[in-house]
Amino acid sequence: MMASEPWQLSPAVRRIPATHSHQVSSSSWRLALPVRSCAGCDVEDSYNSSSQRRDSRSSAHARVLARFLLGGNVLHRWLIHRQVSSKTKKKRIRCIPMADAPPSYVSAKPMVWPRCSVAPEILAHVLPENPDMLRGVLPNGLRYVICRNSTPQKRFEAHLDIHAGSVDEEDHQQGMAHMLEHICFLGSSKRTRLFGSGARSNALTDFQHTVYHVHSPVTSESGRDLLTPALEALQDIAFAPNFYAERIEQERKAVLNEMQQVNTLEYRIETWTLAGLHSENQLGRRFPIGLEEQIRRWSVDECKAFHEKWYYPGNATLYLVGDMPEQEMLSTAKRIFASTPAKKLSDEPAPAWGPQAMDPTSLSRRMLSMPRPKHLHAFTVPQIGTEGDYTAARGDPMRVSPITVIHHELLNNVQIYMYAKAPVRPIRTIEDLRYACLPQLIVSVLRLRILVLLKYGGHNAEVGVDHSDSHREGCAVTSLQVTADSSDWYDVLFKVIQEVRAIVEHGITEGEFQRFSSALQRQAEKDALEAGSMSSEDLITHLMSSDTFGHAVMHPRDVQDTNSKIQGTLSLEEVKPTAEWMLGFLAHFGREGAAPPSAVVACMPTKTYDDAEGKLVELPRVTEEALHRMLRDVPSKDVSEALNPVEIPEALCPEESLQALLGSNYIDRMRAYLAGARRVDPDTGVVQLRLPNGARVNYMHTKNASQGSLRLLFPGGRAAEPPGKLGIAALGARALEDSGTVADFTNQQVELFAVTTGLCVEIVSDREHIRVDSTYPVSQKESLGANLQLLHLLLREPSWEPSTFERAQQACKSKWQEVFGSLELATEEAFLSAMYPNDKRVLMPSQEQLSQLGLSEVRAFTEQIMFNEVDHMEVSIVQDFEMLGRALSPATGKAQRLTNAEGEEFTDEEHKSEIARFRAHAERATEEDVWRFLGSVERSKTEVGRPEFRAFESSGLLEDNSKPRRVHLQDPEERAVAIVGGSAPNNWGLGDARHSDCMMQKGFSWEWDASRPSLTSHKLFPSVCMLLLKTIIAGRLNGTLREGLGLVYSVKFELSLFNVLRGGWFQAIVSSHPSRIHEALQAAKKVIMDVKHKPISAHEVASARQSMQRRHESDLHTNEQWITLLSHLQTENTQKDVSCIRDVLDVLQQVQAGDVQNAYKALTVDDQLFEAIGTQGPASKLR
């Protein structure tokens, strides 16, 4: 994992399969959401790899309906758009013949829904559409959707959606839609006019869409309008591309390289699950990446023919959102696109909007005058709220049992996916919205119940539960995923199915219903408060997804009011039939008249590591029949066991407990202390103080979100691990997180307390730290206090249970096993082992190392890091203090405009004054809560000091390092990854001992230019120079290896940039075919070394500077970025201070090409380069 730069957010994004949303983990107090997207090309001034945009776009997809319909609880299933090669397709899985399947696979009983007590006229009330949204159709058939949005300011998003994807391909065209995306996007001359403007462009292909999009400032730095050239570029890309033979050959190579890159095990698991879920239509077979043998032989004319058939205005929609007047955006769009000729296919034009414009027989896509290919679903349950409505999208019933089992040698745990498909219910009325809320309530209850079961049972497992609409598949899907150890999966699956059955058969308790209904309402209120800060990227994604099913698009001001009406109409009696509809396919599996699952896909490992034998051993094969019997024969719980209420504490740390620690008259003493302890930076607004126990506090006001963020940072992590105790930091943090409780409270009590107060807590160990990250709703005034109570008890009375420790130990061992299933991880381990042969702390701890660690020593080490000397702890808080002030002031309620005591509306000056008063009140309340709950923790618990914090020491270029380290993974598919790199300084320009010796011999100095001492001596100067260098080298690598030589689809250049540790590394990572990996590695090495002979130009620095500035300005709209900025401001052994926040853009603007060229000397390119090559395929011979 790479450490964050001092001022740039670099979150580690956890990959979660795209087929579920809510992720239940036995190892956390958190809810993880999926991040997945499918970008094909990405350009920011010059070409950048699509992988740089892979995560950010899909997180927007996951949030869109949350803000506008259901208060954050509906998450769309977003599908990756690639396909494995034809070799993978040959791996067929046997299914149970129909004759052996139970009768439930033939027909299911009709649904019976309870009679609703709400008046019919209320249920039929139509949801209000956003009046500020412009929708229409140009004379040539191009649809447009336009909306003004000022987040981020002075920027816009333009997306041109061609309603054609892989399912529109004929049998001999598999991969053509994706190939056309590359040809059109990179074959446009007008797109190059955006280079250097700060605009970014990209493209993606999925089952039924090809989308080209531009993200741009409204004007350039010189004041030039950018909307016009952006729309001209989109028009040129889609409707006037150049089909040059040279360009087609270049993109053919790029697509084939991309095919190699994406063909990971995770991707293949997704294709296997989709093949099971959609076995009755092309969604289960026609993946956008296509077939290699077909891609290699397409001619120019064949590419043109596909373009002529699908690329025309009547099959496209322009979505335009930005900080500009709607009419101005519309007039520009008309001027540019109106001249594109129409394609007349019929005398009767197809309808453009509403339900009549949707083709239910082809994934609910826009109806065309010509027929689309039919794609029907074998729905197993009807549309929610109906007794038997399957819509016109229903195809033939399933003819085989949907259970499939796949065994694969690279899997290290068991993954079982269970699905049921239903028709989507468009959300147009109050009744529709009610039916959308109920499944989310059930998902929340089931998630918590399973989480508690996993923790109490000592299971190292994760369970994902979701019900959502997928506009890319044209259906609604209920999904449940179980991931567990190979030794434990049966017990985990047994308990999960039993809990599902308990909710279906007995419902939920009154307390659960009230608690989670309130949570839905609080989430709706939070999202309504955040609606004004919804990014244009999120908004445009919401518009596109809502357009598919005809969902209402409400104005932010209508969202909270509508959701308030909904919550009061839901009843406990409706939960059980909704659970029956949603989860009956699992609860009644194999029973007469039960709805069958659409698919059950089990991915099984073939081997596991045996601790006793110290090696991998073969696992017995799991059959479809055995899995069928297991799902069918799970017994039910009785009603008393299923409905067992839990007492939820009102507070974890009541006032009398604090008085026992602080004394009964501590209030005056506290306020006097705080009055003299705080320091405020007038330029940034950052507030700093130290508590009586020595703990350091930073906090900052932002208006980015209604969620507050809090971080406890403890220097330590892997760097503090003593010899012979490798992995002890990671295991300690995981054990604390797995416990899920503190003091004498049960795990379930703490989980429910967190649900009630909206808390989310995560404990993480990395190479430099152990940290506790938490979020909480600012609008809920008691949430920050509840958060601090939990942290207070975590610091004073942590829970260390043997069963929790064993589960955490097994989870860490599973992480080590992942190395054997991931080519990227295995290659990186090989690279780091070459660079640090005598320091194993940089590597993943092994099974043997973890097995040697006991609970008592792990507890002692972790408590020395986190609890023994609190004066090393740094607390950082980022939240909207004005919003908190409103919540703390009962007189204001939820009013957006304040009034005085007589009810008269305040003037602007009075309004500002009152808001300032709110903020000051909230800041005082926050400081007092921090003082009480964190300042009351003992300064030191024992006489034992903190573990020694030691830098990682790199090696010289040893004789056995003169050749690349090699690893090979056995697999039917061939892939290769190579890494070349060496030593680099940390964020502050400081290296480890060997790096420092190299720099001394070179005579290297950051203060190389005596004419600019104020710049070169600035604390940010080294990191800014290194980040500019990183951007420039990445651009050169992409330009040479991808564009010039066609050796790779993407290449990355990374820097570790530690904050506390001295030294670190740089590395170039290339992915290619095994037959080309040596050439790609040498080419990457040459590009890096040639920087010495081809100096960095002023133009390259200007382009990189603009890219970094735009990214920094965009990141400032997130609390995560501000938490990163505040972190380390008061940490010992770092040079960071408030100037590292205040002066970012100033330093960035002053850095010149000579400074970046000098920074290149800080890389040990000439002294020591280390190489590693990882291959994957059926043979161990490296070609």
User: Contact, 317 vs 212, CB < 8 A?
Assistant: no
CA distance 187 to 250: 10
- Per residue in 278-304, is it b (16+ CB within 10 Å) or e — as a string? bbbbbbbbbbbbbbbebbeebeeeebe
Question: Which alpha helices (DSSP H) does 50-175 contain, by range?
Answer: 54-65, 86-89, 120-123
The active-site residue, picked from 251, 505, 537, 874, is 251
CA distance 517 to 528: 17
1113 an active-site residue?
no
Strand partners of residue 418: 480, 600
CA distance 770 to 865: 8
Strand partners of residue 32: 23
**φ and ψ at residue 1086, rounded to 5 degrees:** -65, -40
CA distance 1032 to 453: 50
Neighbours of 800 (CB within 10 A): 16
User: Contact, 234 vs 212, CB < 8 A?
Assistant: yes
User: Contact, 229 vs 151, CB < 8 A?
Assistant: no
User: Contact, 48 vs 42, CB < 8 A?
Assistant: yes
User: Contact, 544 vs 576, CB < 8 A?
Assistant: no
User: Contact, 456 vs 479, CB < 8 A?
Assistant: no
Q: Which two tokens stand for residue 19?
A: 């087929």
Q: Provide Rg for the chain, Cα atoms.
A: 29
User: Contact, 42 vs 52, CB < 8 A?
Assistant: yes
Instruction: Give SS3 for 242.
Output: coil
DSSP 68: I
Closest CA to 22 of 439, 537, 548, 385: 439
The active-site residue, picked from 5, 169, 181, 580, is 181
Residue 901, C-beta contacts closer than 8 angstroms, at least 6 positions apart:
none
Strand partners of residue 1069: 979, 1052
Instruction: Give SS3 for 565.
Output: helix
State which amino acid sits at residue 16. Answer: I
User: Contact, 35 vs 58, CB < 8 A?
Assistant: yes
Closest CA to 1029 of 1152, 1157, 919: 1157
DSSP 342: P
**CA 342 to chain CA mean position, Å:** 40
Residue 999, C-beta contacts closer than 8 angstroms, at least 6 positions apart:
991, 1161, 1162
State which amino acid sits at residue 396. Answer: D
Q: Would you say how long the chain is, in residues?
A: 1183
The upper half-sphere exposure of residue 800, i.e. CA atoms within 13 Å in the direction of its Cβ, equals 17
CA distance 1144 to 1037: 26
251 an active-site residue?
yes
User: Contact, 601 vs 406, CB < 8 A?
Assistant: yes
Rounded alpha-carbon distances, angstroms, from residue 520 to 527, 569, 755, 1023: 11, 13, 11, 43
User: Contact, 674 vs 927, CB < 8 A?
Assistant: yes
Residue 1183, C-beta contacts closer than 8 angstroms, at least 6 positions apart:
1074, 1075
Q: Is the dihedral of CA 732, 734, 737, 741 positive or negative?
A: negative
Please provide the distance, in angstroms rounded to a whole number, between the alpha carbons at the two ends of the chain. 30
Q: Which residues are catalytic?
A: 181, 251
